[in-house]
Chain A
Amino acid sequence: MIAQVPSNLTELLRQIIGYIYPNEIEIHWSILIVVYPYLTGLVAGAFILASLVKVFNVKEVQPAYRLALLTALSFLLVAPFPLLLHLGHMERSFEIFLAPHLSSAMAMFGFVYAWYLMGILLLEIWFEYRRDLVVWGREHQPPLSWIYRALSLFSTDISEQAVAFDRKAVRMITIVGIPSAFLLHGYVGFIFGSIKANPWWSSVLMPIVFLMSAIVSGIALVLFLYMVITSMRNEPLDMKCLDKVASYLFYAVVVDFSLEALDFIHRLYQSEESVKILAQLISEKLFTNLVILQVLLGMLVPLAVLVAARTRRANPDLRKLLYFTSAILIQLGIFSTRWNVVIGGQLFSKSFRGLMAYKMEMTGLEGLATSLGLLIAPFVILFVLVRLLPAKRTGEAPVHPA
Chain B
Amino acid sequence: MNKREFLKKGAIAFIPAAAVFQVLMRQAEAGAAGAAGTAGSPTPGYEPRDHWYGMGIEVEKCIGCNRCAEACKAENDVPPEPFFFRTWVERYTVKQSGETEVECISVDPRGERKTQDEREVLRSFFVPKLCNHCAHAPCVQVCPVGATFTTADGVVLVDSTRCIGCRYCIQACPYGARFFNHRTNTADKCTFCYHRVIKGLLPACVEVCPTQARVFGDLRSKASRLVRFQRMNKINVLKPALNTEPKVYYAQLDGEVR
Residues of A within 8 A of B (CB): 1-6, 9-10, 13-14, 19-26, 28-29, 83, 86-89, 92-93, 95-96, 99-101, 103-107, 109, 191, 195-198, 346, 349-353
Contacts and interface: CB of A to CB of B under 8 A. Distances in A.
A104 B176 contact: no
Given A13-B83, A103-B141, A87 B165 contact: yes
Contact of A22 (B104, B138, B172): B104
Contact of A23 (B109, B145, B165, B177): B177
A28 B178 CA distance: 11
Contacts of A105: 142
A106 B144 contact: yes
A326 B125 CA distance: 56
A7 B141 CA distance: 32
Interface in B64-82: 79, 81-82
Contact of A109 (B144, B170, B184): B144
Given A19-B101, A88-B184, 10 more contacts: A3-B181, A20-B176, A22-B104, A23-B85, A26-B180, A86-B166, A88-B185, A104-B141, A104-B145, A196-B174
- Tier of interface size on chain B: 35 or more
**8 closest cross-chain pairs (CB), A and B:** A88-B165, A21-B176, A88-B185, A197-B174, A101-B146, A13-B109, A107-B144, A19-B102
Given A22-B88, A103-B141, A89 B164 contact: yes
B211 interface: no
B168 to A, nearest CB: 5
B143 interface: yes
A14 B165 CA distance: 27
B171 A96 contact: no
Contacts of A10: 81, 109
A23 B164 contact: no
Interface in B26-79: 79
Contact of A28 (B140, B162, B170, B242): B170
A249 to B, nearest CB: 33
A104 B168 contact: yes
Chain B interface mostly = loop
A93 B164 contact: yes
Contact of B182 (A4, A95, A106, A350): A4
Interface in B119-134: 129
Contacts of B177: 21, 23
Contacts of A1: 183
A9 B83 contact: yes
Contact of A89 (B104, B142, B174, B185): B185
A160 to B, nearest CB: 48
25 contacts: A1-B183, A5-B182, A9-B81, A13-B83, A19-B101, A19-B104, A21-B104, A22-B83, A22-B88, A23-B85, A23-B170, A87-B164, A89-B163, A92-B145, A92-B162, A92-B164, A103-B140, A103-B141, A104-B168, A196-B242, A197-B171, A350-B258, A351-B102, A351-B176, A353-B258
Nearest to B80: A3
A375 B163 CA distance: 28
A99 B145 CA distance: 6
Nearest to A100: B144
B173 interface: yes
Interface in B204-258: 242, 258
B191 interface: no
B171 to A, nearest CB: 6
B167 A3 contact: no
Given A28-B171, A92-B162, A196-B174, A23 B146 contact: no
A23 B169 CA distance: 13
B21 interface: no
Given A87-B164, A196-B138, A23 B83 contact: yes
Nearest to B92: A19
